[in-house]
Amino acid sequence: MKKFLWLIAFLIPFFLMLYFGKETFYIENELAADDPYNYHFVLITEEVGNDYWRLIEKGAKEAAAEHDIYLEYIGPKVTDNEERLATFDRMITAGVDGIITKGMNDPEFAELVRKAASRNIPVATIDTDNEQSGREFYVGTDNYRAGLLAGKTLIEQTTGEQRVAVIIGLATAQNQLERLNGFEDAIAESDRIELVDVAESNITELGAAQATYQLLKKHSNITAFFGTSALDGIGIVQGIEEMRPRERPYVIAFDILPETLTEIEQGTIQATVAQYPEKMGRRSVELMLEIYNKKTVDSIHFTDTGIVDASHIHNGELIVPVEEGEQP
């Protein structure tokens, strides 16, 4: 009898293991057989919940759905270069069919692009380029030109001596540096505009508000601000409201997120540089697909930029289409 009990004790878990093991195996097979996707592309974002990146995701997912592509959107919760590189590496190991990611000037980024190429995984940069990395193509704003445009607009929309402070998203981000360079080159053309300081916001509204507050404390004579990433403009407005300087500084922002358009309508931000993140997302997926369709894909695909001011907005919405490079 004892012998018999031992046998039952062994057989029950054995059959359970066989049953559930088979179920798991079966489900996996079924999924693989029904898999409706032609390709699996990954979009590595700078910050998962960031509204600007959500628009890139939206455009990319729409294009992916039209072409039976599975588009995975992943990245750090808050901006983190190390985590972004680690995610990039993980996606190469996972063997996805294409990687679309914000370009980085870190040498490890170029190494990962090479690693992906050695496994036949095409890599594209979006929003920020690193042309030397050997990526297949770039889709996004011409960031230097966008900075130039901001500087020219500041010259056109102001009179008299201007002492400008710039808030950049991240000092390690190539697109922020290109925007700053373009801006500096534009204002160098005028002897009335002086750049007094540059601070970082860490791409958050709060970071931009704190940086603005500190800058106004440090330089009591600031007359203008330029914010170079999507949430900087609204952060600058908060910082100004907290410090309440005697004369309200002129503010030029970046991007056309709804909060920024509202501030422009209310007169707290004077202008912003438009980018078209949804178009970037869509285009990046379409071009990645062209690589698989054996088409030649150009190295650089600039999306539009232009200046938006109060004359373009009504009830928080853009009412006048902004032409590429259009001046107000």
Residues that bind ligand BGC (CB under 6 A): 46, 50, 52, 127-128, 169, 175, 203, 229-231, 254-255
Nearer to ligand BGC, 127 or 200 (CB): 127
| Calpha distance 315→323 (Å, rounded) | 21
Nearer to ligand BGC, 116 or 230 (CB): 230
| Calpha distance 49→52 (Å, rounded) | 9
| Calpha distance 134→178 (Å, rounded) | 19
Longest pairwise C-alpha distance within the chain: 103
Beta bridge partners of 167: 199, 227
Residue nearest to ligand BGC (CB): 230
**Triad 235, 241, 246: Cα angle to 5°:** 130
Q: How far is the CB of 188 from ligand BGC (least distance, A)?
A: 23
Nearer to ligand BGC, 141 or 270 (CB): 141
Nearer to ligand BGC, 50 or 284 (CB): 50
Q: How far is the CB of 294 from ligand BGC (least distance, A)?
A: 31
Nearer to ligand BGC, 41 or 254 (CB): 254
Sign of CA dihedral 281, 286, 289, 295: negative
C-alpha distance from residue 3 to each of 7, 14, 17, 40, 260 (Å)? 6, 17, 22, 54, 78
What single-letter amino acid sits at 322?
Answer: V
Q: How far is the CB of 102 from ligand BGC (least distance, A)?
A: 6
Nearer to ligand BGC, 100 or 203 (CB): 203
Q: How far is the CB of 13 from ligand BGC (least distance, A)?
A: 52
Q: How far is the CB of 228 from ligand BGC (least distance, A)?
A: 7
Q: How far is the CB of 301 from ligand BGC (least distance, A)?
A: 15
| Calpha distance 74→192 (Å, rounded) | 45
Nearer to ligand BGC, 203 or 285 (CB): 203
For residue 92, the SS3 value is: helix
| Calpha distance 318→310 (Å, rounded) | 9
Q: How far is the CB of 22 from ligand BGC (least distance, A)?
A: 47
| Contacting residues for 141 by C-beta, under 8 A, at least 6 apart | 127, 175, 275, 302, 303, 305
Q: How far is the CB of 279 from ligand BGC (least distance, A)?
A: 13
| Calpha distance 298→203 (Å, rounded) | 30
CB-based contact 301:142 (threshold 8 Å): no
Q: How far is the CB of 189 from ligand BGC (least distance, A)?
A: 24
Nearer to ligand BGC, 57 or 127 (CB): 127
Nearer to ligand BGC, 69 or 151 (CB): 151
| Calpha distance 155→105 (Å, rounded) | 31
